[in-house]
Amino acid sequence: IDRARPRNHLSFGFGIHRCVGNRLAELQLKILWEEILKRFPVIEVMGEPTRVRSSFVRGYSHLQVRIPG
């Protein structure tokens, strides 16, 4: 993630309240995306994504993609 503070969010807690599974989850996502991109090197975003409207959760509720092939 190319942000100034990529780990400064609340999804796994912060500081002394950080989830002990945080690094495992990050590793699982890294491996998942590496394997997906090996099989499907081109993934196109189709249209604008729909963001989750929440002050607690940041993310997308809808993101349509196209995988040519």
Q: What is the pLDDT of residues 16-34, one digit of tens each?
A: 888 888 889 999 999 999 9
Number of domains in the chain: 1
Task: Examine residue 4 and state whether it is found in any structural domain, yes or no.
Answer: no
Residue pair 44/55 in contact by the 8 Å Cβ criterion: no
For the stretch 29-63, pLDDT in tens is 999 999 999 999 999 999 999 999 887 777 899 99
Which residues pair with residue 44 across a beta bridge? 66
Closest by alpha carbon to 45, among 68, 64, 69, 60? 64
What is the spatial distance between Cα 64 and Cα 6, in angstroms, rounded to a whole number? 24
Structural domain including 33 reads 15-66
64: which DSSP letter? -
H or E segment and range at residue 25: helix 22-39
